[in-house]
Every structure is written in structure tokens, then in C-alpha cells.
Amino acid sequence: MSSNRPGATRLAQYLLLPIIIAGGWELAARTGLVQNTLLPPPSGVLAAFWNLLVRGRLLMHAAASLQRVLAGFALAAALGLGVGIAMGTSRAGGRLGDLVIQVLRPIPPIAWIPLAILWFGIGESSKVFIIFLGAVFPIVINTLEGIRATDRHFVELARVLEVPRGRFVRQVILPGALPAIITGLRVGLGNAWVCVVAAELIAADKGVGFIIVDGRELSRTDVVIAGMATIGIIGKLMDVALRHLEARLVRGRAAYSGE
């Protein structure tokens, strides 16, 4: 019994603030402190969520958004890691890429929507492109910073021993930069979900963003919040998956190095 208490305590602490917020929100809605048409109570949002779920609409729209997010995030991860490694392991690469990255990074993905439509039309490619833009820069920056923070002693030792470049990157650079890389992937994935609603403004007829826009047009605040909650839940589950992946990679790295 005692061994379960720390886990139960952590779970209670984890859920305490959301429960307090939900309780206060429900009370405010039921006592008329806020108008239900503007901010429906959690019970009303839950009813809207359940209605979307049992009718099959929620799963269909969530699957469409998830497919777009995964496609955009996969492209961002591949390019972001490649660019970050190239810039971090080569001074010339760092100088070449720094200005372009620093100029493009502050531009919000939503500002790219007109160009995305001109370049890719109103199909899936334009939506994936917007999500890709939201995810790629945190991955590049964190990969680059992780590589720059790698222990210089290991780097110099590898150079003295004339370790081949490919092996040097795989066995010295990437393991040292792994925590920062995972952080970049997590931030990039979060940004991908932030951008999915903007992406689905481009003539989408399905997706969680479509649910939110449709709810707004129908003045269904409960549906809007249910759609927002769906994005939050899926994003949280994917972030947990990345954290578990990080833990496994760190354990594997420690076992490989004999730590």
C-alpha cells in the first residue's frame, strides 16, 4: 500500500489545478457570473464532446487533422534535423544558414497562407506546408544549440583520434545533443498542433479546425471549446509519447556507454 502512495500523491497534485479550474468554471456558469452562450460550463462542453464522439464526427475530423500534423511534422523533423546538424557541425554551414533561419523564423505561419494557396492550391499540400513551417524552426534551433553545447572535450578527442565524420556525428554529436533535439521535437510538435487550425482555414471540409470554425459560425461555443479540447488532448498524448521515446533513448545511450 505504501509503495502506491507516492504515485497517488503525484497524480492528485497533477490533477488538482485542472479540477479547481473546472469546478470554478462550472460554478461561475451555473450562478450566472458568465453567460453560457459566451462560456458554457464544462458539463455543456463535455456533452458537446460526447455528442460529436458518438456521432462519429469527432474521430473522423481528429483523424484528418492528425494525418496533416504527422505529415507536416515528419517533413519538419527530417529537414530540421538535417539543417541543424549541418549548421552545428560546420562553421561554413552555420554562417550560410544563420541569416536565412533568423529572418524566416519570426514570420508567423498564418502569414504564409496566401503564398501557400498560390504555390500549392487549396488541397492538402498547402495545409501540410503551413504545419511544416510551424514545426521546423524550433527543431532547427534546438538541434543547433544542442550540438553547440556538446562537451568540447569529446569533440576534441574525436578530432585527435581522426574519427570519421559520419561516426563522429552518430557517436559523439547526436548523443550529446539528444536532450535538446527531443526538446526541439516536442516544441515543434506543439507548434504543429497550434498551426493546424490556421492550416484548416484553407478551404477544409474536415479536421478539428473545421469543427472549431463551424462551431463559431453556428454560435456553438460548446462545440468550439470541444474542438479546442480535442487538439489539447491529442497534443498532450503525442508529447507524452515523445517523452517516453526520450527516456528510452537516454537509457539506451547510458547502457551503450556503460554508465
pLDDT for res 170: 72
Residue of 111, 128, 122 whose CA lies nearest to 70: 128
pLDDT for res 245: 82
| Local confidence pLDDT in tens for the 259 residues of the chain | 455 566 678 777 778 888 899 899 889 888 888 887 888 999 999 999 999 999 988 999 999 999 999 999 999 999 999 999 888 877 787 888 888 899 999 999 889 999 999 999 888 999 999 999 999 999 999 999 888 877 566 666 666 666 666 677 777 777 778 888 999 999 999 999 989 888 887 777 889 988 998 888 888 999 999 999 999 999 889 888 888 887 777 666 555 554 4
Residue of 42, 64, 60 whose CA lies nearest to 226: 42
Provide the CA 109 distance to its chain's centre, in angstroms: 14
pLDDT for res 251: 66
CB 46 within 8 A of CB 227: no
What are residue 65's phi and psi, to 5 degrees?
A: -65, -40
In b/e form, how buried is each residue of 51-82, taking b as 16+ CB within 10 angstroms?
ebeeeebbeebbebbbebbebbbebbbeebbe
pLDDT for res 257: 52
Packing angle, helices 174-199 and 221-257, rounded to 10: 170
Separation between Cα atoms, residue 30 and residue 35, nearest integer Å: 9
Q: Show me where the domains of the chain are located.
A: 57-257
**CATH number belonging to domain 57-257:** 1.10.3720.10
